[in-house]
Chains A and B, each alone.
Chain A
Amino acid sequence: MTLTIHLTLNGAPAVFEVEPEERLVHTLRERAGLTGTKLGCGIGECGACSVLLDGKLVPSCLVLSAQADGHEVTTIEGLSQKGLNDLQRAFVEEGAVQCGYCTPGMIMAGEAVLRRYQRPTTQQIRAGIAGNLCRCTGYAKIVSAIRKTARRRAHRRSGR
């Protein structure tokens, strides 16, 4: 038995036939071919599979695909549909990427921090990405990249 689910995936409607016990990470990676979302642990501990579900950060390994039916899912691919977004660019500029396997999830977590706080403190940034493990960078340049993007967005907002 399979279920039919309807998502708004990265801004466009998408339909999938999924297994009842299937997790969203699987649907994204194996059915939609969106391999930017990574799988690191499968139990919601590492954050590599983080996506935005209706704008909220979730580990997609702990979301049943059926739960996402009718909802809006944004993956890393959805952030760069018109070229890299400002946060992605900041990751490149700051050297926040090493092996890069945590990077998509980390950027989604950073995006969630930036949507939650207009001017996040360093502590708010650190806490906001605490569910995302990185083994390469020691997090310092990741925090800098998010902080830099926060500053740029604040600047843009005030300029308007």
Chain B
Amino acid sequence: MQKAPSVVGARVKRFDAEDKVAGRTLYPSDKTVPGMLWVEVVRAAHPHARILSIDIEPALQVPGVVRVLTHRDVPGENAFGIQIQDMPVLCHDRVRYLGDAVALVGAETRAAAREAAQKVRVEYEVLEPVTDPELAMLPGAVALHPKGNILHEGHFNKGDVEAGFGRCAVVIENTYQVPMIDHAFLETEAGIAYYDENGRLTVDACGQYIYRDQTQIARALGLPLHQVRVMSPIVGGAFGGKDEVTVQIHLALMTFHTRRPCRMVATREESLISHTKRHPVTMSYKTGADRKGNLICVQARFVADTGAYASLGGPVLNVMMEHAAGPYRVPNVKVDGYAVYTNNGFSGAFRGFGCTQACVGMESQMDLMAEALRMDPLKFREQNVLVKGDRAGLDYPMTCEVGALRTVRSARRGALYRSRRRKAPARALSPSLAPFVRRGVGVATQMQGLGLGIGIPDYAEVGLDLRPDGTVVLRAGTNEIGQGAYTAYLQILSGCLGVPLERLSIIGADTARTPDSGTTTASRTIFAVGKAVELAAEKLERVLGERAERVFGWAPGPAKLRGEQLEGTGGRRPLRELLGEETLSVQAVFHVPVAEREMGDGLPHRFYSFGTHVAEVEVNTLTGEIAVTSVEAHLDGGKVISRAGFEGQSEGGIAQGIGYALMEEVRLEKGRFLTTNFHTYVIPTSLDVPEWVRTIPVEVREPEGPFGAKGISETAMVGVTPAVLNAIADAVGVRFFRLPVRAEDVLAALREKKS
């Protein structure tokens, strides 16, 4: 691995920041096309019902309405879904959740479209909603899909847990419940569709993988791929919530039928109802360790409520099971998992992708075992944490670089952890409150699979266009969803070519112009796309060398760009003498290496990121209020490419982890949403995050990644939630098994403890 040049790891300005602060950036919700129609969706009136009839006539009478579409108007396959296509584009005979689309209205104004949407008459036979996944799994339960309600199950056994528990000095058994939560990206689902100058049906909308969106649109419309173009360069946040198709097929369908450009922008209410969520899961954990503090057994059972449709429910469950035993060496592991269909919305990808839930259970168990053993929580983790070559929970070797131990040691040395014995609050609101406020410090250690895992194609292709003036355009197919990956790609490119950032630019996410760089998910982009950038840069220098050999008669060898000059074996020559006015383009592809043996879809991963979070809370015992006052994140994402981006991921992850621990819950009653906007679905504000946050990179370089980089976006969030839970337990001696932990829960628990 080469030594990283200074631009790699530097704190640079994001390439998109100036446009964003000026309000100049056009997001999917900002885009318009002359002559466009507004499209509104008629959604299900019941979470579970049979459709008896659909009458669009009254809607067509509304002035300004151009077209109303139903399932009869879907020319291709009326089904979509990333993994299994079990979700109708427009429902035909049955609705399975409130977000289900039954009809689409296209009208000259949004007001007309809305009015007409109200007038589409759908006659239903209302069915009892299936809301309890445990009951839905039982034989004889009403089946929501032809193959029954179990979307996916997995069963793994390593060693012998029964015998193992017999050897344990401590055995801890608990059931944890984690809620459904929403991504709450600030920009709701939106976009436009139109026919481009080449007659391609073009969708410019939010998303996380343009090439898969293209496939899903083409399949539903019965079109060949080349007649569909998808663009999605800049997106107002996603976190997994825009991974599945949202508006794309509906936009394309209306434009296809009307030949008119179309626009959709979801309201927040619609957004909260319709897109995927984080799976609510009931997790039963039984874990044990011997007297010396060695982990002996982990037994876990997960029942994940996957809601109405598959989306990525299967792979999410797989990742949950993969990470059930955390980043630890455990000889005996038994994991059983079920992802079950219900009428509770529908769940799919969300930052952490199943690992988030498992980590809440396992890291709570780790603290409980440490406590029973009278061991220091981090010492206990240090003793059990995986190192390279160890066999992971599900019994496969860890062949990547493993920084888990270094993150634990870094956390042990950190100021926050060393202060954990101090119980007095540092920042209580007023001195008179101080006697009633308890301080606590908690930790959590975590690993997170990087990329899509074995069995799911995971590759990244990028292109470079070298202009005769020596400037270079990078073409990458992933989306800029806020994470800052485009900036990091340019830093990698600058580092490889030695060309300063100001001479580099990027074209992002357009199937007509950018190659398939894969998904913008799974903490994979800096690792996979960044590596492809590195390969493309090497190829560019090789091709330049070959041309220079041919044209200038230089000796064989790569040639480097030096401003408008080319430098190689034969010295320096102006680049224009080689290229004339031509643009030289190269492409390169990186296939992410995979594990030795496949154990299920995407299972296991070959590469992981690691992290140890330390959280400090202050709990007001009079009111039950919890304040997270400080967090330290010790994160191994390999070599850091973009320092500000790395910290930004960490700080944002801390806020989301706090939200999951203390505030957020999508509440449903019989399949109907009670949380309909930000007044009822409450996410952290500036007053809910700690004033003091610190991100400490633990840079264990991964030789397979660009300059040794991995990814960090999920690891940055996942450990925060259990660290906060462990800190609460440390502060008040009460442990919570159900999220979110609200002030009233704390008060009730403290009262119970007293009596």
Contact = CB atoms under 8 A, between A and B. Distances in A.
Contacts, number: 175
Contacts of A95: 11, 14, 17, 644-645, 647-648
B415 interface: no
A38 interface: yes
B683 A140 contact: no
Interface string B677-690: 11100010111010
A127 B687 contact: yes
A133 B22 contact: no
Given A98-B648, A104-B23, A138 B689 contact: yes
Contact of A133 (B11, B186, B656, B691): B186
A97 B647 CA distance: 12
B248 interface: no
Interface stretch (B361-369, B481-489, B583-591): B481-489
Interface string B3-23: 000000001011011101111
Interface in A99-133: 99-104, 107, 122, 125-127, 129-133
Interface stretch (A1-9, A29-37, A151-159): A29-37
A92 B21 CA distance: 7
Interface string A18-36: 0000000000010000111
A81 B191 CA distance: 28
Interface residues of B, number: 56
A14 interface: no
Nearest to A87: B21
A46 interface: yes
Contacts of B677: 41-43, 45
The SS class assigned to the B binding surface is loop
A134 B484 CA distance: 15
Interface string B249-291: 0000000000000000101100000000000000000000000
B651 interface: yes
Given A35-B23, A92-B21, A138-B651, A98 B482 contact: yes
11 contacts: A38-B29, A38-B186, A45-B677, A80-B23, A98-B648, A98-B652, A100-B20, A100-B25, A126-B687, A133-B678, A137-B652
B685 A137 contact: no
B380 to A, nearest CB: 29
Give the top 9 A-B pairs by smallest Cβ distance, nearest first.
Answer: A36-B23, A99-B482, A100-B20, A101-B236, A95-B644, A138-B651, A76-B23, A45-B678, A138-B655
Contacts of A141: 644, 647-648, 651
A134 B684 CA distance: 8
Interface of B: 11, 13-14, 16-18, 20-27, 29-30, 183-188, 234-239, 265, 267-268, 481-484, 644-645, 647-648, 650-656, 677-679, 683, 685-687, 689, 691, 693
Contacts of B645: 95
Contact of B654 (A46, A88, A138): A138
B659 to A, nearest CB: 9
A105 B656 CA distance: 20
A38 B187 contact: yes
Contact of A45 (B183, B481, B651, B679): B679
